[in-house]
Each structure stands twice: as structure tokens, then as C-alpha cells.
Amino acid sequence: MNQADEIRNALSVIMDPDLGQDIVSLGFIHDLIISDSGHVSLEIRLTTPACPVKDLFKSQAENALKPLGWITQLTLKMGASTPQNTLLKSAKGLEKVGAIIAVSSCKGGVGKSSVATNLAYQLLLQGARVGLFDADIYGPSLPTMVRLQNDGILMEGQWVLPLEDRGMKLMSFGYLSQDHRGPALLRGPMVSQIINQLLTGTFWGELDYLVIDMPPGTGDIPITLTQLVPITGALIVTTPQQISCVDVVKGIQMFDTLKVPIIGVVENMSTFTCNHCDTEHHIFGSGALEKLTAQFCIANTFQMPIDPTLSQASDSGTPFVIQYPGSTTAQKFDAIAKTTVQETAKLRFGSQNRPQLKYENTTLSVQFPGGEAQPIPSAKLRLSCRCALCIDEWTGAPKLDPASISESIAPTQIQAVGNYAFGVQWSDGHSSLYGDEQLAKISQNAYNHLTQKS
């Protein structure tokens, strides 16, 4: 084994926990130079500068290389790959944008813009190159949330140049209008055209993340926007009062239909901590978020408290996470940002950690990485459907009569949905969604059941 292979071999023990592969197989090792005197220099190039395990990888690499006694000096650089979004070749201004994150809500006033803005700034604080696009033409809030000394728009050739604050690239229709407000009346197609021009006509440059503050709802405008650019993943913002409402379900279904994976659901204004007794009050009730996420196999949920300083910061023109870094609420935004980084990396670079659900030769089976394929009786999986038609959303009691499901039921189509679930179309015409965790539980039960039978 030559020295370069020895180094690669030693580093191959370091696993990326999200991508489920070692950093050598993932192609993270670059610019490996070994001098005659044993000076080794190399760069570990991660998927994003905001990688939450960057420091851990660095110390793991130093430890992994220690046993190679011939290394006299180690120069280890931690870098990030240049984003290249090949899907965006047609929209030149977005070509070097690594991931596009849509922040969406079913209704206005739930805190969508607050989450989008603070998520973007939190990603910036974590070291990423970030842009924030306010696509809410009727109610642009970016000029209020981020007040700039100089917000005159400049053009370079055909390009609109984004505005900048602390390195954050910003664009909003509000910056283009005198009073920083949206138009009073515009027809839908016109709005879609303006959003299109502003999003794809802005020269965003090299970005790791572009956060889009989506127009609220599931109408034509958000649908057109979602079809216009390949959105890597979406965060849905809602409030406890709205969470069980049909609009949130419509939002989730819109992204599912448009094949945009859902990164997570943020339940905003979910608790209030009283100054006098320090107790966290769920003034709008609790429990609906868990039910919704179980039904739609949403892996990441976040609860943001009502925080008067967040509201004051929004009005002050300096984002909350810049003004109050480290506060309890800022830590919540930090968690949302870290999850966004991890989930987008998984979505862009593929995860080897996912199971496979297959139907072959009349047998349905699930196989987890490194494990054997476990057969699952089709009728059992069909009966495990957790949709609102099959179980009572509030009590969890089954609504489906087991006798109504034939033993011969079979899947007609199986497809991966987002990062954590499979959609199954059944021969009885029903569609179900199964999360990876649910499949693990069902397959284990099915396995126990089958082995007890034999």
C-alpha cells in the first residue's frame, strides 16, 4: 500500500452520520499532497460550510492519522464544495445555488417570514453562503425585517444585483417599490411573472442555500413558483390553532404532489412562558402536531414559543438571531438550521441509510441497509395505514374493518416520498404513506409473526 492509500484507508473509518457512508467513499478528500519529509496536507471538503459535524470530522481525522508514524506534519483544511445545481442550468442566476429551501404556510400571519428570515441568518451565522428571497408579492416583509442603509437596486447588464446585509444576499419586490409594500391589486399570472423575473433574473452568485419566503397558501402562485425552480426541500410553518386544519394538510399534499420533500413542520407560537411563574403554557392546546406528523410521516418537528422580543426584532429591521444570539428562541432557530443542513445534504447527496420497499414475485418485502429482506404480508401493511380514512385521527382507533381487506391485496405502485417515507398505491384504489420507522416496526412484527408460524 502506498502512502496515499494508507491515508485514505485510515480516513475511511470516519462515517458521515447523515449520508451513511465514509468520507473517502463520499469523495470528501481533496488536494492530498505528501512531501518526501512526511508532511501531509489535505482538505476534507464537506457538502456545506455549515456542516454541523465539521469539528468532529476534523478531530476524528487527526486521530485516525496519528497511528501513521511516518507523518511528520499534518496540515488539515476543512472546506466545502462549490455548489453546482445542474438542474438550474437554464436559470443562470441560480446556477451556483446549492440548495433551495422553501418556507411555506397555509395562511398569512403564522410567522412564515419570521422563520424564513431567522433560518437564513442562522445558516449565515453557521458559516454558509446564503440568499433570502421574499416571494410574498402582496405582503413583502423583508424590507421591514431587514432594514438596509442603502436599498437602491442596481442592475448589471440584464441582471438585477441582490442587496446585501452582513454577507446575506437579499431580494424582495418590496425593495423595488417606493413604499416597500406590494401592489394593491395584481392578477395571478402577473404576480407569477414578477416572481419569475425577480427570482431567476437576480444574480445570486455562489450560494450554499437560497431560502425562499413563499407566498402563503396552496394557490396558483406557490404552485407555479415550486414548478419554476427545483426546490430541494420545504419547511411548513403553522400555529397550534391551524395545525389540525385542512389547510396544513393541503400544504403537505401540494409539496408531495410536486415531489418536493418536506424537511419539517414548525409549530410557531406553540407555547408562552409567563414572566411571573416561569411555566410554559400551551395556550392553544397541544397534541395536534404529533398526530399530523404521524399521519404524514414527517420526521422533524419544531415548536417555537411566543417571544415578544422576536416580534420587536422583526419590527426593528435587524433579525432576531443577530440581536439575540444564544437566547432560548435563537437556539430553536439554530436547531431548525442544523436540521435543514443535514436534510438537504441527504436529499442532494443521497442517503445510503434508507430501507427499500419492494414488491417482487407476489411478495412484499422491506430491506434495511446491512440487513436481510423481511417479507411483509400485503394485507398487514394495508391495515397499518394511518391516514384519516383508516384511523380516527384523535383517538388513534382503527376505522378500517380487517375483514374488508382481502388477503390477495397487492401494491400497484411504490415510490419513495421525501427522506423518510414510501407512498404505496394499493390494488383496492387506496393510497397509503409509510414512514421508515413504521416500516421497521411492522417488518419486525411481521418477521416475529412469520417465524412463530413456521
CA angle 220, 226, 229 (to 5 degrees): 135
- CB atoms inside a 10 Å sphere around CB 302: 19
Position 378 contacts ligand ADP (CB under 6 A):
no
Give CA separation, 358 vs 35, 363, 430, in Å.
50, 8, 18
Q: In what order do the strands lie in the sheet with 431-435?
A: 411-417, 421-426, 431-435
- Rg of the chain in Å (alpha carbons): 24
Interface map 276-315 toward ligand ADP (x if CB under 6 A): ----------------------------x-xx--xx--x-
Shortest distance, CB of residue 306 to ligand ADP, whole angstroms? 4
Judged by CB under 6 A, the number of residues near ligand ADP is: 17
Shortest distance, CB of residue 86 to ligand ADP, whole angstroms? 32
Q: Give dist(CA 194, CA 201) in Å, integer.
A: 10
CB 260 within 8 A of CB 87: no
Report which residue type is found at 444: Q
Interface map 49-88 toward ligand ADP (x if CB under 6 A): ----------------------------------------
> Grid coordinates 422533524 are at which residue?
300
Q: Which 8-state DSSP code applies to residue 276?
A: T
Interface map 242-281 toward ligand ADP (x if CB under 6 A): --------------------------xx------------
Position 108 contacts ligand ADP (CB under 6 A):
yes
Q: Give dist(CA 288, CA 393) in Å, integer.
A: 9
Q: Give dist(CA 206, CA 157) in Å, integer.
A: 18
Shortest distance, CB of residue 42 to ligand ADP, whole angstroms? 44
Q: Using the minimum distance from each CB to ligand ADP, give the nearer residue, 49 or 305.
A: 305
Position 111 contacts ligand ADP (CB under 6 A):
yes
Position 112 contacts ligand ADP (CB under 6 A):
yes
Shortest distance, CB of residue 99 to ligand ADP, whole angstroms? 21
Position 226 contacts ligand ADP (CB under 6 A):
no
Position 235 contacts ligand ADP (CB under 6 A):
no
- Kindly identify the residues of this chain, within the stretch 140-159, that bind ligand ADP according to CB under 6 A: 141
Per DSSP, helices labelled H in 270-427 are 288-296, 308-316, 320-323, 328-349, 378-383
Shortest distance, CB of residue 288 to ligand ADP, whole angstroms? 17
Judged by the rule CB under 6 A, the positions of this chain that interact with ligand ADP are 105, 108-114, 141, 268-269, 304, 306-307, 310-311, 314
